[in-house]
A and B are shown apart, each in its own frame.
Chain A
């Protein structure tokens, strides 16, 4: 047998670009999947905005800010990120795995990890679009104010997105099928969101549940966003929750995620 001299060449940057383009085209051609993550937070914003707008309740010690700014907008922003990262993202991955798309890619010089990265890039763009739409609707209909500390708010958004995608990877790793991924994603989403303030103030929850909710990434992200609206430092417990979730997600993914 001859030993063949072949220079190992990983796919060029154009391959990454084409992979991202392909993902964009697929989302654009089947837009139904992104309707819910964009529509539900908007619905929550508008319904709560209408009921809260009449009260014109301000926030004590923070002139110019309303209850809408400090309580509702952070929940809506966290919802957009969580729905896309925890429900949509693992569902797409599980479908690719089930249909053999990842398996097919695994026999090319491209790593299936390219799909993962392309999916994350495209779905993060969806997150940004969802946030922009939600904020624009808030400003136009309810005079929502921007956060007092905009750079810190951007940092919280990044940490929230990384943590939620990690939860999405946990869902993708433990789900044997697309249906299971949808079910697990839904359970994870509602579990975190219900305890984190999606259905009303967490103060209305029993103390132990409220405590658990604030330690989960959804509640931690909401609290962190609230701090940036109030211009206060983000509590270390919130950073810790988002950081631990990320580490946990990476650990589970490394141990359990299978391409086929």
Chain B
């Protein structure tokens, strides 16, 4: 999973700012993720993670700043970027009355060189649910199907937003195994789950109030903060408790 620090940049965001009606959601973020790296974006609800992801994926234009994915602009080179970028969005549903297989078939039609349908379903352990409608899948199964759709086009860069939110422990571990099997892709994992980020990511950026307050490997962040867990490092760096934030919703 680990990648050399000399690998080319897969994601390069410079001085990203996003303002909505006078409110600043993202306030000057710089983010560089190298090819082959699994990078975590960690923050509380409302910290600016999803807005950042939306700008990286080309869904929202930054107020100021620039974004490059594999050297391409998600806005100017829209079609090219979407061919090499796989995105699993938070709170984006799929067609409820289509089956898992039909959805995979539908999405693979969008890409020039997609994975085989059976392989995609097998990758996320959903072959036995191929004929189940999306609306009848459990939360974990729906999440795994979303991951399969993010990977169906053989993307070089994958963005996964709130990967396991709302899943039970077993479902979380299954999703993690899927992500750990992505040896070739660059993965940007957006989360507020410390254990998830610590287990999966080579490097982590902690985002708070629209700014990156620290970044480095989980080990380095803990050492620099003089604490033994990533959660303690997070609390020390932001002054916030992720658990409290989750409970507040």
Contact = CB atoms under 8 A, between A and B. Distances in A.
Interface of A: 1-4, 6-12, 14-15, 17-19, 22, 25-26, 29-30, 99-101, 103-104, 106-110, 260
Given A18-B106, A107-B87, A1 B8 contact: yes
B109 A15 contact: yes
Contacts of A109: 79, 82-83, 110-111, 153
B112 A9 contact: yes
B57 A107 contact: yes
B93 A99 contact: yes
Nearest to B87: A107
A104 B149 CA distance: 10
Contacts, number: 95
A3 B79 CA distance: 15
B106 A8 contact: no
Interface of B: 8-9, 12, 57-59, 68, 70-72, 77, 79-80, 82-85, 87, 89, 91-98, 102, 105-107, 109-112, 149, 153, 156
Contact of A30 (B71, B92, B97): B97
Given A8-B83, A108-B107, A109-B79, A101 B102 contact: no
Contacts of A30: 97
A26 B9 CA distance: 41
A122 to B, nearest CB: 13
Contact of B97 (A8, A10, A26, A103): A26
A6 B83 contact: yes
A32 B144 CA distance: 30
A107 B89 contact: yes
Contacts of B8: 1-2
Q: Which 9 A-B pairs have the closest CB atoms?
A: A100-B92, A15-B109, A3-B71, A4-B70, A104-B92, A107-B87, A8-B79, A110-B110, A99-B93
Nearest to B152: A108
Given A14-B109, A22-B98, A110-B110, A103 B92 contact: yes
Contact of B109 (A2, A4, A12, A99): A12
A92 to B, nearest CB: 11
A19 B89 contact: no
